[in-house]
Structure 1
Amino acid sequence: MSIDGLWIGQVSMAALMNVAFAFAVGAALLGAWLANDAQSSIAPARPAWLRAQRSMQVSALVLVVADLGWLLYQAAEMAGVRLPAAFGVVPTMLSQTHVGFGWSIAFAGALMLLIVSFAGQTNVLRNALLWLAVIAIAGGKASLGHAADAGVASAAIGMHTLHVLTTAVWGGLVLAGGLSVLPALGASVARGVLIRTATQLSNVSLVAVALVMLTGVFNAARGSGNSFATIETSTWGHVLLLKLALVALALVLGGLNRFAALPRLRRTASTMDAHTFANLLYLEALAMLGIFAAAAVLSHSVPGYAALG
């Protein structure tokens, strides 16, 4: 692994892709949960629902742009050329490499997600296309990482796809909820909607976290070659430990919200307890940004088992 301008650009685009994808997924879920309470233009939930819709649109657009940027950096890295010359390499990379194939699937999903995010009405077809796009993006992104070394049709790809998908659900709910949507439910007249939405967020996040842990253990064992020595002595392992520390921090903050702040908010419905829940979610969102950045570094670093032979 050579840390140069191309690598930094590639990792930056990958991190932006991770955050934008998760933000779009979280905003889509929150928008669906708030839809019934936001039908009236004067409904207390209306501002939060509008934020969810706009967040999904903006993050889907950012995802498309980040995908294109990553492709250019990847083409330059694979061909060993400068960034401007990478434009001529892109067609060959797309047509002749597994990276090009995985990127094409993810990019097609991102385009579909962007189009669906601007759909005027919510119906069964829109929802089906939205989640088809999300699955395509997760599968394509999984094919861009080290899991592809095991082959396109492999357990590694399947597990990593599930890991990307469930991480996007957990991280997306935290990011979209903490940084955009839930702050719009701070008024006392929206307290009932806030409690219902916070409960849904907590319950879905709990299921997502369980799946993230399961698939994450599989990926870590595969990347380390089932050896703690590779984690202790390789750069890849050190980044993994940093990511795990950030995950632990996010879990502590999420646990405080689920087992302390949320039950108290249900009992009192007070402004102070509402702010406590929102503040903890905001801090968890900051930790989640670090997790997605660390994941981008891991995906563009030599796996521990390979680095140590």
Structure 2
Amino acid sequence: MSDDFLWFAQTAFAAAADIAFACALGALMFRVWLSREQAFAPLSPALAGWRRAARIGAGAASVLVLCSFASLWLEAAAMSGAPVIKAGASLWLVATGTHAGIGGSVSLAGSVLLWLAAVSDRPASAARTGLAACAVLIVAAGKSAVGHAADAGAFSAAEAVQALHLLATAGWGGVVIAGAWVLPALDTSTARATLIRLTARMSRAAMVAVALVIATGAFNAWRGTGGSPGVLMSSAWGHALLVKLGLIAAALLLGALNRWSGLPRLQRSAATADAHTVINVLRLEALLMAGVFVAAAVLSRSVPGASLAG
């Protein structure tokens, strides 16, 4: 098995895991919001949205568990030098005896907890929401120990910032990607009021997440470049970062378009055409956010520019 294939497989599963994590988190947020709307009631006009959010959450959490295990398996293959199909022999040693393996194991454990919280289609209770919140924190902590932040050492400030960055990015991307699936189920005249309220909540949550993404992302970028912007153009890591920044900028523009134009117009008119406009812009933003997660996975598997410059 070639190193190039192994790198590609690790990157692909990392990207899929990040997207699944974001979707699971976004679906959880929508379920909490829809619970406040009593959308789980049999006669609720928003029942279709509730059911869709439940399906997305359970499906995304299932994919996250599978991708987390696959990533840990591939890490064992990479560290042991064994063929992928035989990496199971060294899986336990890597999972318990290396920093990256322990981080992957923590992430996998958090993924299982998140799956347990997501598989139920019952209304979001305080206990289940608390379990899901703990699971999300565990997943983010585990993921932060697998990437470049781990170079600074276990429980370092770099890992803490990276964990917060992962949470913020998943929160932003999650409400956008999950929203692109959930909101169309509310695109009826009887559920229009719920759609408007959820879009407003989603917009406010995304604003908070974006602020955290920018702050933590700036720190990570500075750390990755070592304070030397020249590495952005002279390394594959820098090229991936520029692509990621470009996708984020485009997603921000679409989000701003919905927040400052589409949503106010929809709130004033409650018209079907305006609802379609908001949803279609959201779908485009969701595609860009998926690209952001792919670029982030490439970054995590590339040598930082500062290391190459040094």
TM tier, smaller: over 0.9
Task: Note if contact 1:139-1:161 (Cα within 8 Å) is conserved in structure 2.
Answer: yes
1:128 deviates by 1.0
Task: Trace 1:1-309 onto structure 2 (pairs within 5 A).
Answer: 4-37=4-37, 38-119=39-120, 120-178=122-180, 180-309=181-310
Q: Specify the SS of the correspondent of 1:67.
A: helix
Task: Note if contact 2:31-2:124 (Cα within 8 Å) is conserved in structure 1.
Answer: no
Q: Distance in 2 between matches of 1:64 and 1:281?
A: 27
1:82 deviates by 1.5
Structure 1: 4+ residue segments shifted above 4 A:
none
TM-score by length of 2: 0.97
Task: Flag structure 2 segments of 5+ consecutive residues without an equivalent.
Answer: none
1:3 deviates by 6.2
Deviations 1:21-64 (A, max 9, x none): 00000000011101133132121111001111111100000000
Q: Distance in 1 between matches of 2:232 and 2:76?
A: 29
Task: Note if contact 2:107-2:139 (Cα within 8 Å) is conserved in structure 1.
Answer: yes
Number of residue-to-residue matches in the alignment = 307
TM-score by length of 1: 0.97
Task: Note if contact 1:234-1:308 (Cα within 8 Å) is conserved in structure 2.
Answer: no
Q: Distance in 1 between matches of 2:18 and 2:45?
A: 31
Q: CA RMSD in A?
A: 1.1
Q: Specify the SS of the correspondent of 1:248.
A: helix
Letter of the structure 2 residue corresponding to residue 45 of structure 1: A
Q: Specify the SS of the correspondent of 2:230.
A: helix
Q: Distance in 2 between matches of 1:49 and 1:281?
A: 19
Task: Note if contact 1:265-1:273 (Cα within 8 Å) is conserved in structure 2.
Answer: yes
Q: Specify the SS of the correspondent of 1:188.
A: coil
Letter of the structure 2 residue corresponding to residue 258 of structure 1: R
1:85 deviates by 2.0
Task: Note if contact 1:11-1:297 (Cα within 8 Å) is conserved in structure 2.
Answer: yes
Residue range with higher mean Cα deviation, 31-40 or 92-101: 31-40
Task: Note if contact 2:150-2:158 (Cα within 8 Å) is conserved in structure 1.
Answer: yes
Deviations 1:192-244 (A, max 9, x none): 00100000000110010000000000000001111101112111000000000
Q: Specify the SS of the correspondent of 1:100.
A: helix
Deviations 1:153-210 (A, max 9, x none): 21100100000001110000000001x1001011111110010000000011001000
